[in-house]
Each structure stands twice: as structure tokens, then as C-alpha cells.
Amino acid sequence: MRAKLVSQTGIEMDTRFDVSLLVKVAQMYYIEGLKQEDIARQLGISRSLISMILTEAREVGIVEISVRDPFLNDEKLSRRMQQAFKLKSCIVIPTSVRDESALRKFVAQRTVAVINSLLKNRAVIGLGWGRSCHQFVSVFRKEGEARDVSVVPLVGGSNQMAPYFQLNELVRILADKLGGKSYFVHAPSLVSSAEERDLFCSSSVMQPIAEKWRSMDIVVAGIGTLPKGQENGREIYKGEGEIYKKLDEVHVVGDLCARYFTVEGEFIRSEYYDRIVGVRAEDLASTKNVVCMAAGSDKAYAVLGALRTGVVNTLVCDQNTAEAVLALSEEV
């Protein structure tokens, strides 16, 4: 049966199948996600006919298929982000994907290209911990001929067993892939007092690390958020001990290498700050290339706060995150 389809330009087009059937089958396949054999069974027609209907739906313009290449850059959003936050560079991956693990992989892959473009002989790279950094190290492949590269951890060890918190191991793997030298911090990230922290940092073992922190060429880090929960119908931050409660009281939204900040971009200078065995916010701010990764619009508050610190000068994120951050920046 042939039918007439009138296009948006007013031109009539012949179709082999009834237009309502084309629309129905297209909706079932592309929107509802049904398999062709399931659609055929429901409509009482053959699977081969369903395939022909879908082909015609595309040919006459009822269905338009676009592919968003995660290796492209949304130039418009990138410019808006650069202008809004005075970034040196911003890559926004055009994708509607919302699965966090998939987004982290997209972001990490683009970050690999960014880091390779920045690598020079004798470069010093500071590496953070977290899921994004773990993914970055996993997918990293060296390009170019940069030699004598050093990789240094940006914070001490964690008592959490997840592989993305094993920073010394991530440093070792990245240095091996770069054919460079790895440095390790043999100390916990959080000690009991500022005096204990000073003892660690003044030791002969830590002095080469501290020197590297002051002379880094590149920082690769994720933007962290605090663990969230519900209490009396209110969203609060949950964690061990009193630390997270204190951070919640001063409205912390995220961290860069265990340095916590508010949505206004203010680092929290507390006794907790002085107990961290890790790179100082000042050393991060003085690094020429601070490349941060963010995957998922649920990190919008943390990303906004991180950008407002003035530390981050290169951001790699997905489209939804960029849009959420820009919208949020107009509200808070």
C-alpha cells in the first residue's frame, strides 16, 4: 500500500507503507527499545517487513539518526565555560550518555590526549586519586618522545581498599607507561595533628616529594565530592568520625586532592587542612597546567566550587556537566 507523506517543506513524498505504521514501528523500536522480532509479533507481521518499515522511516525523514562522537568538542559550550571561569582550556564532550562509568571513560580518554599534548622532557606530573584518575591511568597511552618524566602522588595513602585510592600504585603504573620515574608517599593522607604532619613532611624521605610539588609542570586530578546521605529528611555529608560533620557545617561541596572547598571557591583552612599529608593549595595554584576531570552532572556543585578556586585552568567534562555548572553558576 502506498501513501502520501507531506514533508515540512510542503513536498509530498510517496511511501510504501501507511505513515501511521511507519511512526508506530519507529516509536516501538527507537523509543521503547523493542527488538524487531518483538514488534513483528505484536503487530502480526513478519520481521523482514519490520526491517523494511524502519528503513523507509529513515529514508523519508520520520527517523533521523545522529551520532555524537565523544572525541569531538562542543565548541560553543567550551567557549562559554572558558569565558565564565577564565580557563586556559576546556573540552566538553558532546554526549547524552548519563552512565557515570561510561562518562568517566570518555573523559579519561580525552584527558589522555590533553596530557600527551602538554608533555615535555623532564616534566613533573602530579597525580591525584579517585575513580577518574584510576580510569585515566588505565587508558593512558604515551604519544610523543618526552623523556625523563617524573610522576609524584599529590596526597598520602588512604585506608580505603578500593584500587582508585591506591595512589602510589597508580603513580607507579603511569610512570612505567611514560618510561619515567615514580615517587611515593609512605605516609597516611590524614594524621592526628599538625605537628605529626610537619614531622612527616620535614623527613628526608618526604623532602624530594615536597620539592616536586613546588615545581610541577602538570597536575592531573579529579574533582571529589563528599559521601552523601539523608538525616531527618535533609541531605547531609556522611563519613567516619566528626570530620564530615564539621565540613558540612561550613558548607563544603568538594575537594581537590583532599583540599576541601565551598561552592564559592574558598578552601577551608581548618585544623583538618593542617593534618593533611599532601600538596598544598598554593602549590596547586602555582602549577602551570592543572588538568581536572569531571564526569556526571551530579558533581555540578563540586565542579563549580573547584573552578571558582582559581586553581583549575583546564577542565575536561561531559556536555550535561558543563550545562549544569553554567546553570548553577547563575543561581549561586
Tens digits of residue pLDDT in 288-297: 999 999 999 9
- Name the burial class of residue 166, with classes exposed (0-12), middle (13-18) and buried (19+) by CB atoms within 10 angstroms of its CB: middle
Q: Which range is least confidently modeled, 9-18, 86-95, 206-215, 272-281?
A: 9-18
Domain extents for the chain? 3-59, 75-329
Dist. CA 307–CA 39, nearest whole Å:
48
Q: Which contiguous run of DSSP H or E holds residue 42?
A: helix 36-43
Options 3.40.50.1360, 3.30.1360.200, 3.30.565.10, 3.40.50.2020; CATH for 75-329 is: 3.40.50.1360
Which stretches within 119-265 are classed as H helix?
131-139, 167-178, 194-201, 207-214, 243-249
- Name the burial class of residue 153, with classes exposed (0-12), middle (13-18) and buried (19+) by CB atoms within 10 angstroms of its CB: buried
Instruction: Give pLDDT, residue 12.
Output: 46
* CB contact at 8 A, 253 and 263: yes
Dist. CA 146–CA 151, nearest whole Å:
13
What lies within 8 Å, CB to CB, of 247 at 6+ separation is 226, 237, 260, 268, 272
Phi then psi dihedrals of residue 14, to 5 deg: -75, 135
Q: Please give the average per-residue pLDDT across 82-90, as a whole number.
A: 97
Instruction: Give pLDDT, residue 33.
Output: 85
Confidence bin at 243 (pLDDT 50/70/90): low
* CB contact at 8 A, 284 and 257: yes
Which CATH number is 3-59 given?
1.10.10.60
Q: Whole-prediction pTM value?
A: 0.77
Q: Which three cell numbers stand for residue 186?
A: 609512605
